[in-house]
Structure 1
């Protein structure tokens, strides 16, 4: 009975995560159709509390917070998906090369990745963002660089295990093309393992992007961004203008939670 209950709870977890992620994608795609307010338009209605006119209220510049949350979803998803795509591609490629060919290439890559892995992801992203500058592409690249060591180590370990399997050794004996051995016999079996980490990485990327924007290193203002709005709103915590920071913070929390629930489910299913 307990096992059945646990399976049902895991399914609820998965469906809840999917619901949150789909909801996030919908508001990111159709945000402009869900509100008529301009997210960067300044007005005299500063610090207006939530009402029928301004569902989430307005901030210190009179900007509609509901519109900024909707448009901010687009920025967060775009940056996080781009960052994860770059990080996964680079980390997987380097992991395949390092694990399959070994030798001096393997030693050099392992030393480089271990050096990068020694730094916290956010600190590494801050370093590269400060070097590259602000902007969606630069922030995505900075976050991606922080993710590369994780995927490199995961893929390399899997490759080292798989290349000793009889079917891989047999393929080499029968002169199967190298590209086919790497991509079909080694990469394809790794993909299910990557799936859970991938979902978790998207949530981590959203959190990292918000952290960079919170520190003023993300997308430049007045672009709607959850992290930047949270940073601005924190100044009014003691002034009873709670709506200036609650809704942007809640958006970050829900987005990270959705991908975390999916990633956790996929990781456990793989195990």
Structure 2
């Protein structure tokens, strides 16, 4: 009994697809790995004394411009912008990973069970997920942030609720399509349990688009977290977070103090662009229709 599942290793086979897609994926992967390294190394660099404590005020707090002493300058409160920018990537990484993993852990099994069993359960879950999906993600996250409060875990929960319907819809639609295949019917005829069919025969066939959705949701989560921080609903005060730092920098912009907003904003933009390029590049590798269209266009 064989299945038509696609090995996950093919997602990283850059010889497939167009050269543009391969370049997009490589650039996105390099940018994403760079920001991951920054997030993971920030505490190490601080322990070595190479960067300042991001929540420690300096003796000269009044908007010092970028210099050899403070590469990205300082804020009005006396924080080192370079240190807060680096540690902001760590906070973003923690929230984004938690939010996307939680939404994936809930949405994927729910979509598989709903699509495979069908009936009233499928209709009820489909109605609930479609209702959540129609709500703008930022507004839903802001509303939930009001309820659960500040903090890394709370911010991740607020973000994950808006992503669960996306995983559910993608996986549920794939499950409905795959469950009519001959290898699924053969497994059922041989007496395979529902758990066996879901875990052994359906799972790897319906998660082909999940890595793409994961990276794109991660990019969106960074922007949404920045929005929550800008509104004062993200992480606790003084915690290095790009959105909150951008809010603090607004008052200084008319006076020519550009560095307090420029560097956090540039870093957040770079991380979003890297994840978006990686997601779009992966999308062409896992989507045969996109590959065929690009091959025809190239020909």
TM-score (norm 2): 0.87
Contact (CA 8 Å) 2:175, 2:202: kept in 1 or not? yes
Distance (Å, rounded) in 1 between the aligned partners of 2:124 and 2:208 = 28
Shifted more, 134-143 versus 174-183: the winner is 174-183
Q: C-alpha root-mean-square deviation of aligned residues, in Å?
A: 1.3
2:46 counterpart of 1:31: no
What displacement does 1:270 show? 1.3
* Matching residue of 1:270: 286
Matches within 5 A, 1:168-207: 168-207=184-223
Instruction: Answer yes or no: is the 8 Å Cα contact 2:21–2:284 preserved in 1.
Output: no
1:77 is the counterpart of 2:93: yes
1:249 to 256, 262, 265: 265
Shift of 1:115: 1.0
Which secondary structure does the structure 1 equivalent of 2:250 belong to?
helix
Aligned residue pair count: 267
Conservation of the 8 A alpha-carbon contact between 1:92 and 1:151: yes
Q: Which has the higher helix share?
A: 1
Of 10, 17, 21, which aligns to 2:28?
A: 17
Uncovered stretches (5+) of structure 1, i.e. residues with no partner: none
CA contact (8 A) 1:79 1:137 kept: yes
Counterpart pick for 2:55 among 7, 26, 40: 40
Offset of residue 190 of structure 1? 1.8
Quote the offset at 1:160 in angstroms: 0.5
Decide whether the 8 Å contact of 1:212 with 1:218 is kept in 2.
yes
For residues 269 and 103 of structure 2, what CA distance do their matches in structure 1 show? 23
Higher relative contact order (CA 8 A, sep 6+): 2
Structure 2 alignment gaps of length 5 or more: 1-14, 288-299
Counterpart-to-counterpart distance in 2, 1:106 and 1:114: 12
Equivalents in 2 of 1:166, 1:206: separation in Å? 42
Give the secondary-structure state (helix, strand or coil) at the position aligned to 1:192: coil
